[in-house]
Structure 1
Amino acid sequence: MAGKSEQTRQLVADVALRMFRDLGFEKTTMRAIAAEAGVSVGNAYYYFASKDDLVHELYLQVQAEHAHKAAEAVVGVKDLSGRLKATMHAGLDVMAPYHRFGAEFIATAIRPASPVNPFNDASTAAREASLAIFRTAADGASPAAARKLRAELPELLWLAYMGVTLFWVYDTSSGQRRTRKLVDGLAPLIARGLSLTRIPRASRILDDALDLSRSVRG
């Protein structure tokens, strides 16, 4: 029974995500999802209380696919700039089919109580999965980041990627070309900035920035 239940849940999720891609978020209703999946509306709501929960499922699946593609993309790449560029481009590749409803996704995710708000406790699993992607990118880089920065670096890189994602949502250029160009310029800029942390005066600025980051998180 447990196996059948999980299959039904996955079916509902797969149908919903396909309809999001084909119709857009607003035009996809729970009733339409249930009908397409061949289950009752009540059954669909049993697995996913709202469309927000289905977007959360999308968030989880995107992170899993991003992790897989990023791991392949950084094979043989040693410098942080190259690893970061490959990782970010892999994420954009995974998100590409959902660009049509990106703005609708942001409208959902920006609500503080939304399960897809990346800073909400409900999004912990997806957030940790994304942090792990950037941890892999940073940990495999040579030369390694300054020791005092290593624990904080994955989150800082993830926050930078959140900014790239927001830019991507509103990028109307063909194939989101401008976002790709942003990544190509941002990755080496971040890498060069981090290399400056080995210089004493720049290192003190980094200490102040890390202290500020920790204080606002607390």
Structure 2
Amino acid sequence: MTQTRPAKSERTRALIVETALRLFRERGYEATTMRAIAKEAGVSVGNAYYYFGSKEELIQAYYDELQEEHQAACRAVLESERDFAPRLLGVLKARVDTMIPYHQFAGKFFKFAAEPTSPLNPFSAESGPARAAAIAIYREVVDGSTLKLDPDFRAELPELLWLYSMGIVLYWVHDSSPGCRKTYLLIERTVPLVDKMVAMSRLPVLRSVTRELVEIIREVRA
């Protein structure tokens, strides 16, 4: 019984998330109510609220699920590559690979996620765990590579790479090309540039600029 109940609970939770995502795609985020989600999932409204206190929490669950899929999709490249550029390229492509099934849905709720005060905003406190997990992947990209960097810049680079990835995601949301081909092309063309800029940060002439950048990042974050 102790093993069956958690398994059933996880199935119910997953069913609610799956149903919510389908209804968000079909009806739009704003028009979909928790009552409608519960009805379509075949559970009571009280049971739906037991697992998720709001629609926003459902989206957070989607973020978490997507992040777990991305982490799994990254394993092969992170375990086989040591050079920085192939590691970054593989991680970014894996990010798009895992998002592709949700492309139509992403465009519908993006306007809500873009609101600065929205809990769906990737920079919000509510999105903190998913954001930290995403940055941890880019930290692994850096720390597992052969890069030789200034220690302070190395510490800040993962967050900069995450911000770069968010730019890729924003482009992907609006990409109407077949199979999001242009997003993959954007990744392939920009990763070599990022690799060059990171490598150039070691040059004596750019060290002062790099240190100033680190100071700006830390000052803004504080």
The reply to whether residue 76 of structure 1 matches residue 80 of structure 2 is: yes
Is 1:41 aligned to 2:45, yes or no? yes
CA offsets 1:65-115 (integer angstroms, 9 cap, x no match): 101101223332121111101000000000001111222332121223322
Q: Distance in 2 between the 1:85 and 1:24 partners?
A: 33
1:157-181 CA distance string (max 9 Å, x none): 0000011100111111111111111
Provide the secondary structure at the position in 1 that maps to 2:176. Answer: coil
- Is the Cα–Cα contact under 8 Å of residues 109 and 117 in structure 1 kept in the other structure? yes
Question: The residue matched to 1:183 in structure 2 has which SS?
Answer: helix
Partner of 2:221: 217
User: What is the alpha-carbon distance in structure 1 between the residues aligned to residue 9 and residue 83 of structure 2?
Assistant: 45
RMSD after superposition = 2.1
Alpha-carbon distance change, 102 to 118 in structure 1, aligned in 2, over 3 angstroms: same
Q: Deviations over 1:21-46 (max 9, x none)?
A: 56654564423321222111232133
More divergent stretch after superposition (102-111 vs 118-127)? 102-111
1:189-215 CA deviation, whole Å, 9 max, x = no partner? 111101111111211111111111111
- The CA distance in 1 between the partners of 2:141 and 2:124, in whole Å, is 24
After TM superposition, the structure 1 stretch with the greater mean CA deviation from structure 2, 5-14 or 66-75, is 5-14
Of 134, 143, 154, the match for 1:139: 143
Unmatched runs of 5 consecutive residues or more in structure 1:
none
* Alignment coverage as a number of residue pairs: 218
Q: Give identity over the alignment, percent.
A: 44
- 1:160 aligns to what? 164
**What's 1:96 paired with?**
100
**Pairing of 1:99-114 with structure 2 (within 5 A):** 99-114=103-118
Which runs of no fewer than 5 residues in structure 2 stay unpaired?
Answer: none
- CA shift at 1:142, angstroms? 1.5
Partner SS for 1:118: coil
After TM superposition, the score normalised by the length of structure 2 is 0.89
